[in-house]
Chain A
Amino acid sequence: DAGVTQSPTHLIKTRGQQVTLRCSPKSGHDTVSWYQQALGQGPQFIFQYYEEEERQRGNFPDRFSGHQFPNYSSELNVNALLLGDSALYLCASSEGRGYTFGSGTRLTVV
């Protein structure tokens, strides 16, 4: 049984560019959350998707947007990249109270 799959694993982008990160949830999980983890810090909640709708959003600007597809997979889009967006982006899927995290996408903005 596959867990949470994220792609790509690593990405280098230039300031001002746009990026799309992808997440396939664990089988049977219908809810996807995205977290940003800057170096040396704990993960910060970006938003959660359920039934293709954004259910809750953390303290992130509108440059961060997302989408959930009918098969529960999800995308995180970041526009107008800043150097400060460099981080590990983690996707977590859940069904009920358990969360399973993917291996993350390491985004470097230069």
Chain B
Amino acid sequence: ELKVEQNPLFLSMQEGKNYTIYCNYSTTSDRLYWYRQDPGKSLESLFVLLSNGAVKQEGRLMASLDTKARLSTLHITAAVHDLSATYFCAVAFSDYKLSFGAGTTVTVRA
């Protein structure tokens, strides 16, 4: 069965501290996507990871992919309030569809 598991599902961050969201998946894939969703809004693409060892960074966010471990991480450096949102990872198990995790709801507090 194709599964994508994110943890934690809820993350309360303190401003200025570092945190990591984990995304595990059940079957071989070499394509993994990270999205951000604000309440009531659509999905904003953050990163596309296309190979083992891929690392991408944008501002305070950094994503990496380990295809052998079937694991991706989204690392947040020095959290700020603007990062409050729900973050989804999605895995392409075939060429035709993305399988999403349940999402990690992030709240950043002062």
Closest to B102 in A: A42
Q: Is the CB of A56 within 8 A of B96?
A: yes
Interface majority SS (helix, strand, loop, mixed), chain B: loop
Partner of B96, one of A42, A48, A100, A103: A48
- Residues 34-57 of B at the A interface (beta carbon under 8 Å): 35, 40-43, 45, 48, 50
Count how many chain B residues have C-beta atoms less than 8 Å from C-beta atoms of the other chain: 23
Interface majority SS (helix, strand, loop, mixed), chain A: strand
Q: Is the CB of B103 within 8 A of A41?
A: yes
Q: Is the CB of A90 within 8 A of B103?
A: no
B: residues with CB less than 8 A from A are: 4, 31, 33, 35, 40-43, 45, 48, 50, 88, 90, 92, 94, 96-103
What are the 6 tightest A-B residue pairs by CB atom distance, in nearest-first order?
Answer: A42-B100, A56-B96, A45-B97, A101-B43, A103-B42, A48-B96
- A sample of 28 cross-chain residue pairs with beta-carbon separation below 8 angstroms, ordered by A number, consists of A33-B96, A41-B102, A41-B103, A42-B88, A42-B90, A42-B101, A42-B103, A43-B43, A43-B90, A44-B100, A45-B99, A56-B94, A90-B42, A90-B43, A92-B98, A97-B31, A97-B50, A97-B92, A98-B45, A99-B45, A99-B98, A100-B45, A101-B35, A101-B43, A102-B42, A103-B42, A104-B41, A106-B40
